[in-house]
Amino acid sequence: MSNLRLLRALPTRQGRPPTHLGEYDENGRKIPCVVRTFDRSSLGGWAEQRHAWTGIRHSNMISILDSGIDTSSGRPFVAIELRQGLALDAVVARGARLGRWPSRESTVLVGISALSAIAALAARLGSDDEAGRALRQTTSVAPDAIHIGFDGSVRLMATTGALSYLSPEQARGERFGVPAYVYQTAVLLFELLTRNHPTVLPGASQGIQVFERIAKRDGPRPDIASPLAEVIERSLRNKVTERPPLAELLAALKSSCSPRRLDSGQAELAELAREAARKSRPFGRASQGRAGRERPKAGGR
């Protein structure tokens, strides 16, 4: 049976997505989780799928922050950010309490979202780009190759490379420390700008590339000025639960980056701001407005 058929698309109330993000509503019906997979190649910008996912209590967004070729192994890597409280830790903790692994449905959902993001990045990269050529090979990976571990890790296995995410505590072997998403924005932005590559950490599964966090991380490269590193490291020291202020990151970008890299970084941050604005709009009106603008005129081709 197709993996896609494992995911049940559920309707939401007209004009109102589920705002109380518990597992069941007041009538005992399961509340669907709205999963937005950011696809830069699509005209609308967002592809929405609604699925019931036991253990997930937050709407979430998945997007690409960086990609490249690991210089030591020659394999591609992709930094995919799981934003806005994708409660992987909740899934893992719940599975541990129940004495079983997270469900196949949850694994497939993460897999489809990650593969969609990789495909979007591969389409954005030119055919003459080494990372683009390598990443195109990863799109053939079945969602079954996505694994959510008891330790909170998310691993994407491919014939040409691997993606893995661990929080600092998990990288040190501590199971349920500070939630992984606390560190995502600050550290992944740091990696985006410094071009730090993933490395194999002691204690990690053999052959799995792990994005470094606090436990064992290279310092900022000499060509990256200190203001950005200070912003990121201060956020990490404080174990922030929110993203660093947009203005603060932009100021650090302006003083730290080359013009080309600055344009890329500002675009990423501007996208974060647009996403926050979209989240604050009533779901129905925003969707109807986009649909109205995209509808062709009568009689037109």
Percent of the chain exceeding pLDDT 90 equals 0
Task: Report which listed range, 104-108, 129-133, 138-142, 283-287, is most confident.
Answer: 129-133
Residue 2 pLDDT level (bands cut at 50, 70, 90):
very low
The residue among 286 and 35 whose pLDDT is bigger is: 286
Average of per-residue pLDDT values in the chain? 38
Sheet of 60-69, strands arranged across: 46-51, 33-38, 60-69, 76-83
pLDDT at residue 278, rounded to an integer: 59
Q: How far is CA 154 from CA 55, 73, 164, 165, 209, in A?
A: 16, 20, 5, 6, 11
Is the pTM of the predicted complex or chain greater than 0.75?
no
Select from 155, 220, 223, 156 the least CA-distant residue to 189: 220
Residue 127 pLDDT level (bands cut at 50, 70, 90):
low
Determine whether 100 is exposed, middle or buried from the number of CB atoms within 10 Å of its CB (0-12, 13-18, 19+).
exposed
Give just the sign of the alpha carbon dihedral 259, 263, 239, 69: negative
Q: How far is CA 112 from CA 11, 124, 147, 205, 232, in A?
A: 20, 18, 12, 23, 30
Mean pLDDT of 93-121: 38
What CA–CA distance (Å, rounded) separates 40 from 271?
A: 11
pLDDT in tens, 247-298: 554 454 444 444 444 444 445 445 544 554 555 444 333 334 444 444 444 5
Residue 210 pLDDT level (bands cut at 50, 70, 90):
very low
- 3-class DSSP string for 195-248: CCCCECCCCCCCCCCECCCCCCCCCCCCCCCHHHHHHHHHHHHHCCCCCCCHHH
What CA–CA distance (Å, rounded) separates 4 from 145?
A: 14
